């Protein structure tokens, strides 16, 4: 467990105990001992994130501060949060986290040169969420951890529910409150009130959606793979349209399954892992992804399981239709280790329901 010289005291956090960058096995031991989830028949870790079993876009805010205010397209998607409310929220989340045993995970985003990559630090009250992040982001070498300095910090308090009157957050008609707040001035993300781990990865994707265009690079929600001749293909589409499945074609190298950038030198993955939707997944149709469900270290979210046999029911929507598996990209045998590809030769748009505008797979001319 390697502790960075850039500690939590720099941002006013101590916790009652800190555990830094534990191995996947040690992290799983902690998660199981804390009752955060269960082991499955195949050896993967399973967590249930109810009541939030998907992302909560209506609870996502960007702090409206002078440095970024003129760069953001404010509206229903980019909801503003006033600085005065954010300050109180951050202080309250830190006070809450200081009463907890904290897990700290240092990681990279962007498979590109050292100068451009984003140093991400996740500070969580839960062990399993840090294993999710370890699977999803790019893992530093141990030698890089001792002097790791974060360029973005995620304060993760899934059991802390914000007060809409005090914190300026949304007041839902029923159920618990949650908030995801990005502050570009402080390079901080606050995630509170939701256990759904997808908020962790998407918060950094949101940050890169803001940062990269300012540097002349294009952030993309897509999968990417590369053929034997070096031909790169991109797969765009909403969740469940087949990006992960198609990009994992065993005849081609998997660059990444969800989030990429496109710059002067080509395409690069933001992540070091995959976050696959596994509802009705089959060994026959998707053997590479199916195999990851029985690999030690894979994190499953909201998949139905028989408590006695620990056998998964991939067809069940008992918890949610949005069942997920998070695993390091090297669990897919044909992954591209560099996480990079040339300028794409083919761009595919995948649709689950295009209402007659496009067929499920469309080949478009430049016109």
The residues annotated as belonging to the active site are 55, 202, 221, 239, 243-244, 258, 324
Strand partners, 154: 122, 189
Q: Is residue 282 within 8 Å of residue 289, measured between CB atoms?
A: no
The tokens describing 106, both together, are 């240092």
Task: Please state, in angstroms and rounded to a whole number, the distance separating the CA atoms of residues 32 and 134.
Answer: 17
Residue with the two structure tokens 């202080």:
91
Q: What angle do CA 38, 44, 48 make, to 5 degrees?
A: 45
Calpha distance 227→5 (Å, rounded): 42
How many whole angstroms separate alpha carbon 117 and alpha carbon 314?
36
Residue 184: strand, helix, or coil: coil
- Whether the Cβ atoms of residue 92 and residue 182 lie closer than 8 Å to each other: no
Paired tokens of 261: 């950038």
How many whole angstroms from its chain centre is CA 187?
A: 17
Give every CB contact of residue 95 below 8 A, 6+ residues apart in sequence.
Answer: none
Q: Where are the alpha helices (DSSP H) in 299-345?
A: none
Pairing of strands 101-109, 17-20: parallel
DSSP label at 213? G
Q: Order of strands across the sheet with 299-301?
A: 38-39, 45-47, 299-301, 324-328, 273-277
């Amino acid at each position: 467990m390697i502790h960075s010289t850039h500690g939590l005291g720099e941002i006013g956090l101590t916790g009652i105990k800190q555990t830094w960058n534990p191995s996947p096995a040690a992290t799983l031991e902690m998660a199981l001992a804390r009752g955060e989830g269960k082991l499955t028949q195949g050896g993967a870790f399973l967590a249930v994130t109810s009541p939030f079993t998907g992302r909560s876009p209506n609870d996502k805010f960007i702090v409206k501060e002078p440095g970024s205010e003129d760069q953001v397209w404010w509206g229903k998607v980019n909801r503003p949060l006033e600085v005065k409310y954010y300050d109180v929220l951050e202080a309250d989340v830190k006070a809450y986290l200081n009463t907890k045993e904290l897990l700290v995970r240092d990681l990279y985003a962007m498979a590109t040169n050292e100068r451009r990559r984003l140093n991400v630090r996740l500070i969580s009250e839960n062990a399993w969420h840090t294993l999710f992040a370890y699977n999803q982001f790019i893992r530093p070498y141990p030698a890089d951890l001792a002097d790791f300095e974060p360029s973005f910090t995620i304060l993760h308090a899934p059991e802390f529910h914000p007060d809409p009157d005090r914190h300026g957050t949304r007041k839902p008609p029923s159920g618990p409150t949650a908030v995801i707040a990005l502050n570009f001035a402080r390079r901080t993300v606050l995630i509170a009130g939701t256990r759904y781990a997808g908020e962790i990865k998407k918060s950094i994707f949101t940050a890169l959606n803001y940062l990269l265009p300012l540097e002349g690079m294009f952030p993309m929600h897509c999968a990417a793979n590369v053929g034997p001749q070096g031909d790169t293909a991109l797969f765009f589409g909403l969740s469940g349209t087949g990006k992960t499945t198609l990009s994992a074609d065993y005849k081609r190298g998997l660059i990444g399954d969800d989030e990429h950038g496109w710059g002067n030198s080509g395409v690069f993955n933001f992540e070091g892992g995959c976050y696959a939707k596994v509802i009705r997944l089959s060994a026959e149709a998707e053997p590479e992804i199916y195999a990851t469900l029985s690999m030690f270290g894979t994190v499953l979210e909201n998949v139905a399981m028989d408590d006695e046999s620990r056998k998964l029911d991939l067809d069940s929507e008992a918890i949610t239709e949005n069942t997920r598996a998070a695993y390091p990209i090297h669990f897919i045998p044909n992954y591209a280790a560099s996480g990079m590809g040339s300028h794409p030769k083919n761009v595919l748009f995948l649709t689950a329901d295009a209402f007659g505008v496009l067929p499920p797979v469309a080949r478009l001319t430049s016109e």
